[in-house]
Amino acid sequence: MSNSLSGPSNFADDGSAVIGRHLDVHHFKLASESQDKIKSCTDIYEIDRTVSAIKERGYKRIALQFPDDLLQDSGLVAQLIRDQTGSAVFILADTSYGSCCVDEVAAQHISADAIIHYGRSCQSPTSRLPVIYVFGKQPVDVQDCAATFDGFFGKDKAQKAVLMYDVIYSHCIDQLLATLQSEMHYTNIVKSRVETESNLGYVLSDSKTNGALNSGCCQKKESCCSTSSSTEAATGCCSSEAAKSDYDQCTNSSGCRTATSTSSTQQLVVEDDNSEHTKKRRRFGRTYDLPVGDQIEDYTLFYVGDESPTLSNIMMTHSKCDVYSYNPETKKGRLESAQVNRALMRRYFLVQKAKDADVIGIAVGTLGVASYMTMIKHLKALIESKGKKAYTFVMGKLNVAKMANFMEIDCFVYVACPENSLIDSKEFYRPIVTPFELEIALSKSREWNGDYVTDFQQLLPDEDKIGVDKIKISQTQLDAASDDEDYSDKDSDEDDRPHFSLVTGQFKQSKRYTTNSEDTKELSALIQGTTDLTVRNKNTSVATLMSSAAGEYLQSREFRGLEVALGESPVELATEGRAGIARGYRTEDGYGEREKEKY
Amino acid sequence: MVALSLERILELMRKPTNIRNVAVFAQKGHGATELMDTLSVSEAHIRCLREPHTCLYPPPPNKQKADMDHPVTVQPTILPLHLKLTEEDLLNIKQEANGPEFLINLFYPPRHIDLTSGVIRNLLATDGALILTNCLDPIPSSTMSALRRVVDERVKPVLVLNQIDRVFEELSLSQEDLYQGFAWTIQSANNVTASCNPSKDIFERVIFDPVQGTVVFASGLHGWAFTLQQFADRYAQKFPVNRAKLVKRLWGNYHFDVTTKSWTERTVDADGQPLARGFNLFVLDPILKLFDAILHFKTDTYEELLRRLEIHLSESEKELSGKPLLRVVLQKFLPASDTLLRTAVLHLPSPVTAQKYRVDTLYGGPMNDECAVGIRNCDPEGPLMMHISKMIRTADKDRFYGLGRIFSGTIRAGARVRIMGPCFKSGSSRDLYIHHIQRLVLLMSSTAEPVGECSAGNVVGVVGIDQFLLQSGTISSSDCADTIKDIHYSITPLVQVKVDAKDSKDLPKLLESLKNLSRMDPLVTTLILETGEHVVAAEGERQLWHLFQDLEGELGEVQIVKSDPFTQYRETVQAESRPALAKSPNKHNRLFMKAMPLGDDVTHAIERGDISPNFDLKSRARIMSDDYEWDNQEARKIWSFGPDSVGPNLLVNCTRGVAYLNEVKESIVAGFQWTTREAVFTEEPMRGCRLNILDVVMSSDAIHRGGGQIIPTARSAIYASTMMARPGIMEPVFDIAISCPERVMANVIKTLVKHRGEVVNEEFYFPQRTGDNLLMVKAVLPVAESFGIQSKLSMATGDQATVIRMAFNHWKLMPGVSNEDPQLIELISSIRRRKGFNEALPALDRFLDRL
């Protein structure tokens, strides 16, 4: 979240953006301070594991993605990897979106075979390239952590708890689990897992769609592999780290293997096997298996790590569970749940605001998270089916100034990875909601009941989930929806009615922007009719506004651009205009000096 | 109770000249409920012959007992009454009439007169009003303000001095004392009406005069009432006197000399013996004699009296004695329904009469369009114009009937009409719905009779519009129709309470109930805070208390959690700031601004609507320069009012020769609106601030001066300048009236002072009253301190003091500068904590940039 707010803002509420940015560096202090830099680098950045994975699969072009605060070590890491593998190594500078997301687009610019992602990761499933996650290892005092855990749950050794953790502490979770189970005799502890590698091998909770999923991703994989021009890449890639369980092994490997039918059937079998006695949950890259018959509501969450978007994400999505956290830095544990309600209620307020919005901007905040395109299409269909207007924005990282340029938008919906999409939009001119919140606001089938979904994968209808070639389906759905509207008078009647807006305490009438067939018919009629004579209206304009929200807004503005004063101002010869960039055009004073400074 | 067939009722309804729509207002405890009950069991009450279809108000299961007894007052509606006048009486009607039969629609009094909303909602539908007050007590301020509103809305009032029986029974006052007491009450009512806008010349000044018949003496409880005319009539029948002359002698300084049988203005006769006042001798004396004789069981005396008064009792009634007998006798002697209805018919205007002079305050559009003409003529053939002023809940609790008055045309079930909500602006489609009327119902006390159509001048319930209108709106058949003007509420809902469902699963139910709450009362707002908490806001704690009763009754099983009440604040400035500079995020634009107080006069003028953003620029500038000492040029450069484009803060463009300024105007205004809505310290609205734009330096490149750059800059500049202008906090202050016996007055005042209250004055109730001398302590009390004041007062005085009225009075500047005074800082922090912000106050350097 901090990254998304790092844009210029002169009235940040509490400066948390700045503080947030420095937190990560803190963790990696070893890297910068240690005498033996290479050694610690190798250790922290898991050079060995990375190198062996690369070698195993023969990746030739590797993209390294560092968060901004780790860029200082990037040179060394790149050098180490290059030296040990001989592959071409690229460091991706400035990520397009949040640094927790894998920036596949940037990697594709250099035709990379694989991405190695460093630092904190949101574990969003990706669709294009194989990814190796290197979280960096941070020390945890396992005994102290276990003691803290015991302090919370000491009364009941059968306490049902799920262990969650910040990815940077993933390396010692097994140890912690063992300590808790063997030394402290806790019986009902479930460990969540994170994936250290991904190429579309994400697991869906619904095992039935898995077959389709795998075939889908394997096709992709094929194309991936062909570019990598290595046949070896097709052979198994289970790293020792990843092979924590059969289950993990299978999911990971099947993703990387070539599309042999055996592997996918094998996985299917395992899946079915698993689903018989466990209930899998996957949320933002974390998987945990609950014994059959147990609900997550029965469990308490124990999170290892300090305050971070990950933690707030976990709390939001598990709002019915108590969440305890242990901060390995300060070695302190606390109950976190108290503030989560506040955050949730704040989101609830945003939902109410979104309900009142007539014009909704879809801000694209990721090009990496799988099926984001489907999501956008889905949102568009949803918005339009409600007679509202949708505009799509691709604007990289959000900042206040950028967003406030679009005053005609009543509300933005931000399609991004789970950790980035929760934007506290207090500073923004318009509220920014998540796709889930927009669904609640617009669709009658969903209601706010305290459950929260940040991962938009869970929002899409099942058949849309895979994200390939499913756009057509959503289009037909849209058509079906609009057909419904046309034929059932009652339904459209329903939509005509104002709704009770909680923001104003009054009825709010929705504007209707028709974007469907009728309008297009009209438009095409207009285009065909352009040869005919058109009656000019008073303002001597022949333009027609086609239910365009922006056009309507322009009409209501006082200033509408330069005034056309045809015949009133004398005709002048064209002269050369300004050149250069906005922070100082060449015609402006001091340009020359700045240029000199540059060189 | 008179049973009429629906056809007969409809026939009555088709004669607008013979309709009277009358509202009733009274302070609680002044006998309005009893009066309505009396009328509803009287002969005049119209009952429809058909079986009632829907019972509107079954008593809700968990209402308080007091409410159970009179379930109708919970949700007031209409009491239809019927009166047939004699030929002779018809001649006395000074307005058009059509036949001797009259239909009087009496609106049940609002549940709480001290809640302005209830008063207002009845006013738009009615043309006349009965103002009930205790005959000797000073008129309560709530009744006074109701009366003021009545006159302001050009509704004609009649004063009813009620509870007159108690005076005779309980107080041993002399006749002259009674006369003085009555005269004093009438005079104070006249003082109120005299202070109301006399400039509207079409509507004659309201004077309550017993001689004219605009004052009624009544005992609602016992069901009798009289006017001077009635007595004059009786005497005129028996004695050879001129009725009109006699009436004049029955009030004022006319004394009757029994020996000379002549009238004189002197108080003593030739021998120096005191003379009896006409009123005392001819009006009070007969009644007092009856009281005396019957209550003291002087059978011979009262039988003689009854014979002389020609009151005939039935056999069973003759068996009675004491109070029951007195009641029967007086009901026969001076029947309340007859007196009141006669007064209403004679002295209150019919829709035809009233709409002629009401049209220009009622209608929002031009006075010469077809709708205005239709309203003016109360024309059943004109375009339909109807105003829905109230939502009335149906028995099954699912739907609401929109209760409204038809001003013009005829409404028919099934017709397609334009439904215009409160936000409708002529020419736009905002808040406009075209829909058909599902059904129409006549609301007759507690029943609803379906009807097919209803014409101008009547009040009718409309089914099927509750989905479009929350509280009020206009229904019309004309395409060019503007709205019937809703009455402007000057009161903001100041007292707020957070509510939440105990179980989040019940949230949808809670929301539905909240919506219904705001339907039932226009001054109740239910909204959601930025923190996601639901808030119910109302005028005062008492209203909230009633609201929560409704809410809990509605929710049934659903448990809710509510917070302590809290109030709103306003941020303001107390001095002129130095110029504040803010740079845009990209540093290419600079905005220099200055904040200064707007001045109380202008602030009030904006709040009253004397200066409005809707005025024409030049005439507004004229008003401001003439009346408020503004520079005419500056007044023309007012860019915006805020918040919400109407509030009491001004953005003034004081720049000279800045290029492209019009390009960024909207962005600056947007920033201004935002900041005035959420001021810097508490994010409460701003009030009474003037913000001058001194200079704007802009990027020469249009792309770098978009909204994204300018809006935050404007915000920072406003924040910075207000922070440098000795920022202050304003808190709302209630006007509070407390009644208490004299001996506990010191405790009352002590309690008030302890809660930062200031006593304005204390005055005696009618001092002649025996026993404890009751005092009325008037004070101003900060709203924040008013929570639970009643219980605190009770504690301090041993349950002797009662809060009679609490209403918003003004915004009071709290002493000190917001970010310096420790008490204010503490207050601000607490507000910030409540809103879920960082408790520390923002520092100036976050907003202020340096060159």
pLDDT, tens digit, 9 for 90 and up, residues B643-695: 888 889 999 998 888 877 888 888 899 899 989 988 888 888 899 999 999 98
Confidence of residue A471 (pLDDT cuts 50, 70, 90): very low
Give Cβ neighbours of residue B44 (< 8 Å, ≥ 6 apart): B2, B81, B82, B83, B104, B337, B338, B341
Of A147-156, A219-228, B170-179, B687-696, which has the strongest mean pLDDT?
B687-696
Per residue in B803-824, pLDDT (tens digit) is: 877 778 888 898 888 888 888 8
**How far B295 CA lies from chain A's nearest CA (Å)?**
57
pLDDT of residue B692: 92
Task: Provide the token pair at B696.
Answer: 């704007």
d(CA B64, CA A184): 58
Listed by number, the residues of chain B in 522-541 with a beta carbon closer than 8 Å to a beta carbon of chain A are 525-534
Band of the pLDDT at B490, cuts 50, 70, 90? low
Task: Report residue A58 as tokens.
Answer: 């023969």
Q: How far is A340 from chain B (nearest CA, A)?
A: 12
Residue A2 pLDDT greater than 70, yes or no: no
ipTM above 0.85 for this complex: no
Check if the beta carbon of residue A211 is closer than 8 Å to that of residue A269. Answer: no
Cα of B243 to nearest chain A Cα, Å? 56
CB contact under 8 A, A429 and B707: yes
Q: Are B475 and B388 in contact (CB under 8 A)?
A: yes
Q: Which amino acid is at A12?
A: A
Per-residue pLDDT at A421: 72
Which helix (H) or strand (E) covers residue B159, if one does?
Answer: strand B156-162
Distance from CA of A329 to the nearest CA of B (A): 24
The first and second tokens of residue B211, run together, are: 């001689």
Give the chain B residue nearest A352 (alpha carbons): B528
Contacting residues of B for A426, CB less than 8 Å apart: 530
Q: Of B507, B539, B474, B843, nearest to B680 (Cα)?
A: B843
- Count of beta carbons in the 10 Å neighbourhood of residue B537: 24
CB contacts under 8 A, B 669-688 vs A, are: 670, 674
pLDDT, position B75: 57
Of B505, B529, B709, the CB nearest to A449: B505
Closest Cα of chain A to B585: distance in Å? 5
Please, which residues bridge with residue A279 across strands?
A290
* Average pLDDT over every residue of B177-200: 78
Q: Any chain A CB within 8 A of the CB of B422? A: yes
Helix axes B141-152, B116-123, angle to 10 degrees: 30
CA distances from B350 to B9, B21, B88, B336 (A): 17, 7, 19, 21
Smallest CA–CA distance from A562 into chain B, residue: B663
Nearest CA to CA, how far is B540 from chain A (Å)? 18
pLDDT for res A355 = 85
> Which amino acid belongs to residue A138?
Q
| Backbone torsion region of residue A41, taken as left when φ is above 0, otherwise alpha when ψ lies between -120 and 50, otherwise beta | alpha
Q: Are A177 and A163 in contact (CB under 8 A)?
A: yes
Sheet holding A432-433, edge to edge: A389-394, A359-364, A411-415, A432-433
From residue A89, how far is each of A59, A65, A112, B551, B585 by CA, in Å? 10, 11, 9, 67, 37
What is the least distance, in Å, from the CA of A589 to any CA of chain B? 13
At residue B651, the pLDDT reads 92
Inter-chain touch B528–A502, beta carbons under 8 Å:
yes
A366 vs A104: CA distance, rounded Å:
10
| CA B132 vs CA A48, A139, A440, B776: distances in Å | 93, 81, 51, 20
* Distances from the Cα of A322 to the Cα of A160, A302, A316, B295, angstroms: 11, 9, 11, 75
Q: Is B468 in CB contact (< 8 Å) with chain A?
A: yes
Of A11, A345, A505, the CB nearest to B531: A345
State how far residue A592 is from chain B, nearest Cα, in angstroms. 19
Contact A401 B709 (CB under 8 A): yes
Question: What chain B residue is nearest to A561 in terms of C-alpha separation?
Answer: B663
- Please state, in angstroms and rounded to a whole number, the distance separating the CA atoms of residues B438 and B450: 11
**pLDDT at site A224:** 35
Task: Please determine, for residue A269, whether its predicted confidence score (pLDDT) is greater than 50.
Answer: no
Over 80: is that where the pLDDT of A286 sits? Answer: no
The DSSP-derived string for B782-837 is EHHHHTTHHHHHHHHHTS--EEEEEEEEEEEEPSS-TTT-HHHHHHHHHHHHHHT-
- Residue B421 distance to chain A (closest CA, Å): 9
CB-nearest partner of A346 from B470, B530, B849: B530
| Per-position b or e across B74-103, b if 16+ CB within 10 A of its CB | bbbbbbbbbbebeeeeeeebeeebeeeebb
Give me the pLDDT at residue B672, please: 92
Q: Where are the alpha helices (DSSP H) in B381-447?
A: none
Signed CA dihedral, B625, B631, B637, B641: sign only: negative
Best probe of the A interface among B436, B438, B530, by most A CBs < 10 A, is B530
How much is the average pLDDT of A124-140?
Answer: 76
CB contact under 8 A, A348 and B532: yes
Task: Compare CB distances from B666 to A10, A559, A585 and report the shortest one's residue.
Answer: A559
Contact state of B665 with A558 under an 8 Å Cβ cutoff: yes
Whole-angstrom distance, CA of residue B293 vs CA of residue B583: 89
CB A191 within 8 A of CB A278: no
Q: B311: left (phi > 0), else alpha (psi -120 to 50), else beta?
A: beta
Q: Please compute the mean of the pLDDT values over residues A81-98 and round it to a whole number.
A: 78
Copy the structure tokens of residue A75: 């040179």
- Whether the per-residue pLDDT at B101 is higher than 80: the answer is yes
Cβ B709–A426 below 8 Å, yes or no? Answer: no
DSSP H stretches of helix in B175-242:
175-195, 228-238
Mean pLDDT of A531-557: 57
In 10 A of CB B280, how many CB atoms?
Answer: 20
**What residue has token string 């806790």?**
A186
CB contacts, 8 Å: B469 with chain A: 507
d(CA A317, CA A183): 31
**Residue of A301 and A546 predicted with greater confidence:** A301
Nearest CA in chain A to B537: A505
Residue with tokens 């009094």: B109
| Mutation choice for A interface testing from B516, B527, B700, B833 by most A CBs within 10 A | B527
Chains A and B: how many Cβ contacts under 8 Å? Answer: 138
Q: Write out the E strands in A94-241.
A: 114-118, 131-134, 161-165, 189-191, 193-194, 197-198
**CA-based nearest distance A126→chain B, Å:** 32
Question: Which residues of chain B are within 8 Å of residue A393 when distances are taken between CB atoms?
Answer: none
Question: Cα angle at B70 between B66 and B74, to 5 degrees?
Answer: 90
Structural contact between residues A206 and A464, judged by C-beta atoms closer than 8 angstroms: no
Mean pLDDT, residues B375-403: 81
Residue B442 has pLDDT above 60, yes or no: yes
| Selected residue with higher pLDDT from B524 and A340 | B524
| Tokens (6 digits) for A550 | 């922006």
| B665 contacts chain A (CB < 8 A) | yes
What is the model's pLDDT at position A216? Answer: 35
Helices (H) and strands (E) in chain B, counts: 30, 38
Instruction: Work out the minimum CA distance from A547 to partner chain B, whole angstroms.
Output: 14
Across the interface, of B421, B586, B670, the residue whose CB is closest to A407 is B670
E strand map for B620-676:
638-642, 649-653
Q: Which amino acid type is present at position B534?
A: H
- Which residues in chain B are contacts of A500 at CB distance < 8 A? 470, 511, 515, 518
Mind telling me how many Å the CA of A143 is from chain B's nearest CA? 35
B626-656 as b/e: b if 16+ CB within 10 A? eeeebeeebbbbbbbbbbeeebbbbbbbbee
Distance, CA of B775 to CA of B802 (rounded, Å): 11
Nearest to B470 among A11, A402, A506 (CB): A506
Window B:488-517, CB contacts with A under 8 Å: 504-505, 507-508, 511, 514-515
Q: CB–CB of A582 and B708 under 8 A?
A: no
Residue pair B481/B387 in contact by the 8 Å Cβ criterion? no
A138-147, B356-365, B381-390, B548-557: the lowest-pLDDT one: B548-557
**Other beta carbons less than 10 A from residue B573's beta carbon:** 28
Q: What is the mean pLDDT of residues B375-385?
A: 88
Residue A328: pLDDT band by 50, 70, 90 thresholds? confident
- Find which of B429, B467, B675, B713 to mutate to test the A interface (most A CBs within 10 Å of its CB): B467
Token pair 């780790």 is found at A70
Residues of A in contact with B837 (CB under 8 A): 13
pTM over 0.80: no
CB count in 10 Å sphere of residue A586: 11
Considering chain A, what is the average pLDDT of its residues? 65
How much is the pLDDT for B595? Answer: 92
Mean pLDDT of A283-294: 67
| Alpha carbons A196 and A550: distance in angstroms, whole number | 45
Contact B585 A7 (CB under 8 A): yes
Stretch 586-645 of chain B: residues touching chain A, C-beta under 8 Å:
586, 588
B846 vs A10: CB contact, 8 Å cut-off?
A: yes
Instruction: With CB atoms and an 8 Å threshold, state whether A429 touches B674.
Output: yes
Q: Are A503 and B584 within 8 A, CB to CB?
A: no
Contact B531 A342 (CB under 8 A): yes
